[in-house]
Structure 1
Amino acid sequence: MAQEWTEQRVRQLHDDLVSLYEPIDREETHGADPEAEPGAGVRQLLTTILSQNVADENTRRASESLFDTYETYADIEAADQDELAETIRVAGLPDQKSARIQRSLEAIREETGGAYSLAFLDAMGTDEAKDWLTEIKGVGPKTASVVLNFHFGKPTMAVDTHVERVSKRFGLVPENATNQRAHDVLGERVPDELTYPLHVLLIRHGRTYCTARSPDCDNPVCDQYCGCENC
């Protein structure tokens, strides 16, 4: 019988992953002061939109192309959409992503009365801030969670393909759960202070051992938690 995922067991999973890898320091990975750069939250949002369903290297290339081509967020919002799509083409789905980027900038500008800043989200509760972001067409729970957790330190668990795969193999999330349901389940089960480090650790485990194809289950974490057919 599968073991129940209590808060204590989630904490133990975190500790076991730390033992296998290393402690996660938010400041080392995302800086000590996310508000130090004006508009940094907006940049995080646009970069996360670019990262949807694409490899990290192509996200980096598309992001560099976007911010090298346009000097300001206003320029990006006002750009011809076909031109913008060509600028970010390497990220894939250029027409959809260019529209999402421009809709996001329009929503931010209208909310702030002209400024391209997401600082107002910091004063909102987590659920309210997530609702605001996901009201933008094309901004789903993963994109919103990345921005809110990485940039504002809010307790939102971003469920990317690695987190979802590992969580389902470990039984932390039901195997038949949708991505939205996976966000909800992990949001309920993971203690607030572990949302960021556990997110990073699950991604590392998914890339290192618990890969989509031919997973290497010869490690103490998989021995303890994984229920996939290779274990």
Structure 2
Amino acid sequence: MTEWDAAAVERLHDDLVDLHGPAERDGEHGSDAAPGDGVRQLLTTILSQNVADENTRRAANSLFDRYADFRAIEDAPHDELAETIRVAGLPDTKAERIQRALAAVREQTGGAYSLAFLDAMPTDEAKAWLTDIKGVGPKTASVVLNFHFGKPAMAVDTHVERVSKRFGLVAESASNARVHDLLDDLVPDDLKYPLHVLLITHGREFCTARSPDCDNPVCATYCDCDGC
């Protein structure tokens, strides 16, 4: 079993790059992004909770095509909003979370639908502000902070959690929130985005939940699952 420290994480990253290719960051982030992009990222990430990527895309397109702006989404009748995003699953719950998140942003800024204020905050404070919104967990907050602002937050979805446990980066018994904390401490800041992407890729292509394909050099080196 690998003894995990920053150097070992760097080796894992390099081995994943050798297998899958480098993880490139798309688009602008932080102060270079367009106004409102952070809020759009937040709403899209709420839609993505516990649903496949294709249904997230369809729900996001439906949401942003139907409503002219964020105020219209916040003010929309609950049942109408839920029906608009139904393809993402849990429509009533996600409609509540979306409108609650928009209200929190508007109240924080005095009327603007912008997350620009998070850019000036330390990562821990920004994450705490986001997770204070009911329904915004550590994964949603970390995706927004890392993908939009380029902040060093390790987002842990089901693939990242599964592969991290199989590789022994974290204990099998660790909760999702605990996995976020452990990986935030373990993974060097400059690797948090690429390792997130590479672990997802590896989890989808090889280290799947069922019938994993362990015939690859990364699993041969790091994995301790039953398939290996």
Give the match for residue 61 of structure 1.
58
Pairwise CA distance, 1:104:
0.3
| CA deviations over 1:115-135 (Å, ceiling 9, x no partner) | 000000000000000000000
Give the match for residue 18 of structure 1.
17
Pairwise CA distance, 1:21:
1.0
Pairwise CA distance, 1:33:
4.2
Counterpart amino acid of residue 143 in structure 2: V
Counterpart amino acid of residue 10 in structure 2: R
Pairwise CA distance, 1:114:
0.3
Counterpart amino acid of residue 4 in structure 1: E
Compute the TM-score of the two structures, normalised by the length of structure 2. Answer: 0.98
Change (3 A) 1:131 1:33: closer
- Three-state SS of the structure 1 residue aligned to 2:103 is helix
| CA deviations over 1:33-58 (Å, ceiling 9, x no partner) | 45432100000000000000001111
Q: Give, in whole Å, the separation in 1 of the partners of 2:164 and 2:177.
A: 14
Say yes or no: does 1:124 pair with 2:121.
yes
Pairwise CA distance, 1:173:
1.0
Map 1:151-190; keep pairs closer than 5 Å. 151-190=148-187
| CA deviations over 1:203-224 (Å, ceiling 9, x no partner) | 0000000000100000000000
Change (3 A) 1:33 1:185: closer
Pairwise CA distance, 1:226:
0.1
Q: Give, in whole Å, the separation in 2 of the partners of 1:216 and 1:25.
A: 25
Picking from 27, 32, 36, the partner of 2:28 is 32
- Three-state SS of the structure 2 residue aligned to 1:32 is coil
Q: Give, in whole Å, the separation in 1 of the partners of 2:18 and 2:145.
A: 27
Q: Give, in whole Å, the separation in 1 of the partners of 2:78 and 2:132.
A: 21
Counterpart amino acid of residue 19 in structure 1: D
Q: Give, in whole Å, the separation in 1 of the partners of 2:84 and 2:58.
A: 10
Give the match for residue 67 of structure 2.
70
Q: Give, in whole Å, the separation in 1 of the partners of 2:198 and 2:192.
A: 10
Picking from 65, 76, 92, the partner of 1:95 is 92
Q: Give, in whole Å, the separation in 2 of the partners of 1:205 and 1:222.
A: 9
Pairwise CA distance, 1:23:
1.4
| CA deviations over 1:67-102 (Å, ceiling 9, x no partner) | 011000000000101110010000000000000000
Pairwise CA distance, 1:4:
1.5
Q: Give, in whole Å, the separation in 1 of the partners of 2:2 and 2:63.
A: 47
Give the match for residue 8 of structure 1.
7
- Three-state SS of the structure 2 residue aligned to 1:210 is coil
Compute the TM-score of the two structures, normalised by the length of structure 1. Answer: 0.97
Q: Give, in whole Å, the separation in 2 of the partners of 1:85 and 1:185.
A: 35
Q: Give, in whole Å, the separation in 1 of the partners of 2:56 and 2:126.
A: 25
Considering Cα pairs closer than 8 Å and 6+ residues apart, tell me whether 1 or 2 has the greater RCO. 2
- Three-state SS of the structure 1 residue aligned to 2:50 is coil
Q: Which moved more, 1:207-216 or 1:35-44?
A: 35-44
Say yes or no: does 1:138 pair with 2:132.
no
Q: Give, in whole Å, the separation in 1 of the partners of 2:162 and 2:29.
A: 31
Counterpart amino acid of residue 224 in structure 1: T
Counterpart amino acid of residue 102 in structure 1: Q
For structure 2, the residue ranges without an aligned partner over 5 or more in a row are none
Pairwise CA distance, 1:25:
1.7
